[in-house]
Structure 1
Amino acid sequence: MAKDNSSTQKSNQKIKWYMLAFMAFSTVWGFGNVTNGFGYFHGTQVIFSWIMMFALYFVPYALMVGELGSAFKNAGGGVTSWVLETTNPKLAYYAGYTYWVVHIPYIASKGSGGLKALAWMTLKNDWYDSLPSWQVQLATGVVFLFFAWVASRGLNPLKALATAAGSSMFIMSILFILMMFAAPIINPNATYIPLDWSWDALIPKFNVEYFTSLSILVFAVGGCEKISPYVNKVENPAKNFPKGMIALAIMVMVCAILGTVALGMMFSGAEITGEAQASFIANGAYEAFQRLGEYYHVGNLFVIFYGACNAVGQFSTLVLSIDAPLRMLLDDESARQYVPKQLLKKNQYGAYTNGIKLVVVLSGSIIAIQLLGKDASDIITWLTRLNSVCMPLRYLWVFFAYIMLRKQSAKFPRDYQFVKNNKVALFFGVWCFVITATFCILGMYDSQDPMRTVLNALSPFVFILLGMIMPMIRKRQDEKAVSSK
């Protein structure tokens, strides 16, 4: 009888496939992805690109992550552990290093994003956007240094704050879609833009601008590897995990399309070009909530609340992005042996002080370079593009680990497989790897400013070079330590 109760209790602890889908959805998706797609792909034309991205990239990506998680269910290091298990410690170091270093531009963007959110929350955005770039970046630098100090004090309760802010942003994203579709019924006299469902209006122009912007969509749909620890906690993972991932893909696709349609009722995609595009990338989400408030006769209530949630989320994420990826790299035993000893120094709070100083130098350099931007909106647009080039580089290690797994398929037993046929599995692994690398490289190109193209290309190169230099420094330190004995 006790055995039956234990079995029932264990069964009750298993995650249902639809619960997994919702967990992954809140991790992967956000309203900013909708506005970025709308802004970069001229409004409703992005619908075609979203569908192609989900079908040809996101679905196989999510299912590959499921197989990796199932194969290495006891490995707690995520991508780094997968690479370690399938290859060697040196490559695992590079995987962990990549995960850390791609956060450098992301960290630089969080300060700008947080100040933008505060400006909208206080209804001072017009004043903030009118400031010269040096004043904007000076304020960003001060904010960045303050939160770097906070990270050095080991104040990690901010994780709960970031989770709460992220959850509220997620809820507001869903509410925006529902309330926008209800708006014409509640306020039929308001001004809405009629949607053009003609073929020409929906199919994008496949030009240089189109292909160099696809990194934005890759950046938007990435990150589902964060749910890999839950693969083996799902009821019947071989059947229900892919069901959950397919449900996730459908949910994300529906939200992307409906969100795009909702924005299309507010903004004309044809008018989002040039400087108007930069303004929309930086302000589009806030303007959408501001107009939604007008439709519901509540003034700026929605945009104030959205700005407050976003400000808390941006600043708390800033601290976590300084601290968490650094800990993931330096706490990992397979990576520590390739890192200069100075970076392993901890203070009384358990924070890697010299590591944080390195983050300050690298992210601070990007903040300083942004002085070349025109204004606050232009800087945020630039950082969005740079993040779309750098952040997806970590996904390359997911696909690399999957290719290595399938090359040694018999060595790693697992409850769930994306596809049974090894050749088909390898094709999808290589396909997603090539797509990610190609769009990241194409995303470096900026048709408006050749200097930004150089800087977009130079940043990943400098990051990779630094990752190659670190093991050399550590090797010399180890040799010196041995010779001195």
Structure 2
Amino acid sequence: MTELETKKRYISWPVLALMDFVTVVGFDDLTYNFQNQGMGVITSWIIMIAVYVVPYSLMVGQLGSTFDDDGGGLTSWVRETSGEFMGYFAAWTYWAASIPYVVDTANTIAVAIGWVYFGDAKLQTIMSNSKFALFTLLIFVFFIIIQSRFEHSLEVLSTIGGVAMFGMTVLFVIMTVTALMMGGHIATKPLTMHTIVPTFNLHYLTTLGFLIFAINGAERIAPFVTKMRNPNKDFPKAMIMLSLMTGFLTIFGSFSLGVFFNAYHLPNDLKINGSYYAFQALGQRFHMGNTLMYLFALTEIFYLAALLAVLLNAMTRMLISDTGNKYMPEFLRRTNSAGLPINGYLLTVGLSAFIMFLGILLPNMKDIFNWLLNLNGIISPGVTCWIFWSFIKVRMRDDIYHSGYVYIKNKAMSLAVGWWCLGITGIATLAAIGPQDVPFASPMWWYELTINFIAIIVLIGLGFVLPYITKRERRSQTGSAFTRFQMIGIWTAVLATLLGDLYLGDANFNRNIGYIALLTAAGVAIVIAFGRREYNLKESLD
């Protein structure tokens, strides 16, 4: 093998940093957190990058180097350090955390299409909750079909779209600075040091999880650590470059938003429409009309469409292939002639419909969008805890686990940093359960708090139910975990959820309180009617 061919086997640290960056933070993350904290988010970004992003990324590097034979995946780290069941449960929670994310992605595509079609935020005023749910469901079905035919090309397109999204964000910052140099004014006044310091109160604590959600994802590049020529020296360089890029994007991007939006009086729909408002205002400042807004909207659709298609495929395949036969039911692992896990896709769509059903009772499309974002700020940081847990386990048993790259060679110091990251992530996860975009202790606040708990219990709890279903399959003479009547009950519940998405979304919130009680009673009746034990189960040998 020639020297040139040998070099081709290695990934340089700048390339690794760029690969990781496109999966970590985007322009939408800036607007979401800007509405949560205003200009004070600038200080939050600085703190998070210094005490969280850097150690988090470097811990991922050590885990990826330690378990390089397992592909460096999160579930393999947990399995190797905490046992097979914990590995399965980590895979399940990682998959469950993707459900609100893909629903949110589909919703964002719908919003982007609305901006391209109408040229403004008209979609949220004319589309009812039920139509929004139906539109989102159709987007799901469309991209499940698309990804089965163009899987590999969409992976490439999503990467290109990620780079394009980064380019749009950099363009926004540069043009904003240029506008100020040309005599433009800043909307946020007065702009003082107090303006960029957040208020550390209960509301701030509930928004901390969304900051973590915006900047996590570094574990996706873990398998590439061992493909570097000198991981001990080059990987820290890549993570420092990643931190600098993230810092530039978040700090200057947030400041740029403060140029066009008065941080003291933000629009209440900034999360759902803020990115488009920003590029619309920037285009008007340079006498370009809506050109930049349309360019951003098309970039958003292009990137998120490819990302959604890849996610729908990758998350389902990962769950089914990485958990093995011991805990995952056979009917979910079953594939069609084309190798597609059809029942896995149905489970994804079913749980996505359930999540939409919980939000369908909220007053309008904006509230649904905001609630889904906040739900991501709960579940996604919770899953990130697995990374820090695995790192702690590795450092506690460094006589067993050996790595080509070691983050903080002093064992006590590395464990202190690991526990710090685990603790702050756990606190942020729990605090994020409190609703953020509605008045504290109002009826809507209590309702969102309730559906937050319901979503968490169902998504995470189902991970404990599947091994039981797998056991029933093995004991059944028919090879099925459910009788015919039980399957009728399950499909009745699924169809009721879908119909509920379409019907209840057209009623007002107060009227729907009665309907949710009625549907709950109907669901309990179905469980009682069809939940009896099967008569064709073999007697347990135990």
- TM-score norm. by structure 1 comes to 0.92
Q: Which runs of 5+ in 2 are unaligned?
A: 439-444, 480-537
Letter in 2 for 1:211: L
Question: Does 2:108 correspond to 1:108?
Answer: no
Q: Distance in 1 between matches of 2:264 and 2:209?
A: 21
1:243 is paired with a residue whose SS is: helix
User: Does the 8 Å CA contact 1:148/1:360 hold for their aligned counterparts?
Assistant: no
Q: Cα distance, 1:194 vs. partner?
A: 5.6
Once residues 245 and 172 of structure 1 are traced to their aligned partners in structure 2, the CA distance between those partners, rounded to angstroms, is: 22
More divergent stretch after superposition (92-101 vs 471-480): 471-480
Matched, 1:260 2:251: no
Residue 292 of structure 1: CA displacement?
A: 1.2
- Inter-CA distance 471–455: structure 2 relative to 1 (3 Å threshold): same
1:288 maps to: 278
Correspondence 1:96 to 2:88: no
Q: CA contact under 8 A between 1:39 and 1:280: conserved in structure 2?
A: yes
361, 375, 388: which one aligns with 2:364: 375
1:145 match: 141
One-letter identity of the residue aligned with 2:203:
E
Kindly indicate whether residue 50 of structure 2 is the aligned counterpart of residue 55 of structure 1.
yes
Report the secondary structure of 1:347's partner residue.
coil
Shift of 1:312: 2.3
Aligned to 2:374: 385
3-state SS in 2 of match to 1:144: helix
- Paired residues of 1:14 and 1:235 also in contact (CA < 8 A): yes
**Secondary structure at 1:28 match in 2:** coil
SS at match of 1:209: helix
State the alpha-carbon separation in 1 of the partners of residues 473 and 52 from structure 2.
43
Matches of residues 188-199 of structure 1 in structure 2 within 5 Å? 188=183, 190-193=184-187, 196-199=190-193
Which residue in 1 is equivalent to 2:227? 233
Residues 401-442 of structure 1: per-residue CA shift (max 9 Å, x gap): 111211221212212111112222222222212221211111
Q: Residue 399 of structure 2 aligns with which residue?
A: 410
Equivalent in the alignment of 2:459: 463
Report the alpha carbon displacement of residue 359 of structure 1 after superposing the two structures with TM: 1.0
* Distance in 2, Cα, partners of 1:154 & 1:102: 25
Change (3 A) 1:389 1:16: same
Deviation at 1:195, TM superposition (A): 5.7
Q: 3-state SS of the aligned residue for 1:157? A: helix
Q: Secondary structure at the match of 1:458?
A: helix
Q: Which amino acid aligns with 1:184?
A: L
Match of 2:313 in 1: 323
Quick one: distance in 1 between partners of 2:72 and 2:341? 18
Shift of 1:151: 4.8
Question: Could you say which residue in structure 2 is the equivalent of 1:347?
Answer: 336
Matched, 1:301 2:291: yes
Shift of 1:49: 0.9
**Count of residue pairs the alignment pairs up:** 473
Partner of 2:304: 314
Which whole-Å CA distance do the structure 1 matches of 2:371 and 2:120 have between them?
Answer: 18
- What SS does the corresponding residue of 2:23 show, helix, strand or coil? helix
Partners of 1:150 and 1:72 in 2: how far apart? 34
Partners of 1:170 and 1:77 in 2: how far apart?
Answer: 26
Query: Which among 363, 366, 385 is matched to residue 396 of structure 1?
Result: 385
Partner residue, 1:251:
245
Q: Which moved more, 1:85-94 or 1:462-471?
A: 85-94
The structure 2 residue matched to 1:169, chosen from 165, 169, 179, is 165
Whole-angstrom CA distance in 2 between matches of 1:191 and 1:419: 46
SS at match of 2:338: coil
User: 8 Å contact 1:137–1:370 — kept in the other structure?
Assistant: no
RMSD value, Cα = 2.2
The corresponding residue for 1:214 is 208
CA separation of 1:195 and 1:225: change in aligned 2, threshold 3 A:
farther
CA distance in 2, matches of 1:39, 1:194: 13
Asked whether the equivalents of residues 283 and 293 of structure 2 are also in contact (C-alpha less than 8 Å), the reply is: yes
For residue 13 of structure 1, report the CA deviation from its aligned partner.
4.1
- Does the aligned pair in 1 maintain the 2:95–2:315 contact within 8 Å? yes
- Which residue is 2:180 aligned to? 184
Cα shift at 1:156: 5.0
Structure 1 residue runs without a partner (length 5+)? none
Tell me if 1:133 matches 2:129: yes
Tell me how far apart the structure 1 counterparts of residues 292 and 187 of structure 2 sit (CA, whole Å). 21
Distance 1:263 1:205 in 2: 19
CA distance in 1, matches of 2:386, 2:195: 37
User: In structure 1, how many angstroms separate the alpha carbons of the residues matched to 2:385 and 2:161?
Assistant: 29
- Deviations along 1:262-305, one digit per CA (max 9) or x if unpaired, are 11111111102xxx33x001111111111111122111111111
Please give the alpha-carbon distance, in whole angstroms, between the structure 2 residues aligned to 1:361 and 1:172. Answer: 35
What is the distance in 1 between the residues matched to 2:138 and 2:66? 45
Q: Would you say the 8 A contact 1:141–1:367 is kept in 2?
A: no
Residues in 2 aligned to 1:90 and 1:10: alpha-carbon distance in whole angstroms: 40
Shift in Å, 1:152: 5.9
What is the rounded CA distance, in whole Å, between the counterparts of 2:382 and 2:459 in structure 1?
A: 11
Alpha-carbon contact 1:215-1:439 (below 8 Å) kept = yes
Using a 3 Å threshold, how does the CA distance of structure 1 residues 154 and 17 change in structure 2: closer, same or farther? closer
CA distance in 1, matches of 2:58, 2:190: 35
Using the size of structure 2 for normalisation, the TM-score is: 0.83
Mapped pair 1:122 → 2:112? no
TM-aligned CA deviation for residue 17 of structure 1: 2.4
Asked if the contact 1:152/1:352 (under 8 Å) is kept, the reply is no
Distance 1:157 1:13, change over 3 A: closer
1:135-173 CA deviation, whole Å, 9 max, x = no partner?
222322332233344456675532233222222112111
- Does structure 2 retain, via aligned residues, the 8 Å contact 1:446–1:453? yes
Q: Take 2:7 and 2:402, find their aligned partners in 1: how far apart are those partners?
A: 22
* Partner Cα distance (1:21, 1:107) in 2: 25
Separation (CA, whole Å) in 1 of partners of 2:147 and 2:6? 38
Aligned to 1:28: 24
CA–CA distance in structure 2, aligned partners of residues 126 and 228 of structure 1: 40
- Give the AA of the match of 2:263: G
Tell me by how many angstroms 1:224 deviates. Answer: 0.3
The alignment status of 1:270 with 2:264, answered yes or no, reads yes
The structure, 1 or 2, with the larger RCO (C-alpha pairs under 8 Å, 6+ apart) is 1
Alignment partners' CA distance in 2, 1:99 and 1:336: 18
What's the secondary structure of 1:14's corresponding residue?
Answer: coil
For residues 270 and 280 of structure 2, the distance between their equivalents in structure 1, rounded to whole angstroms, comes to 13
Identity percentage of aligned residues: 33
In the alignment, the residues of structure 1 paired with residue 239 and residue 50 of structure 2 have an alpha-carbon distance, to the nearest angstrom, of 12
Among 430, 438, 462, the alignment partner of 2:419 is 430
1:419 corresponds to 2:408 = yes
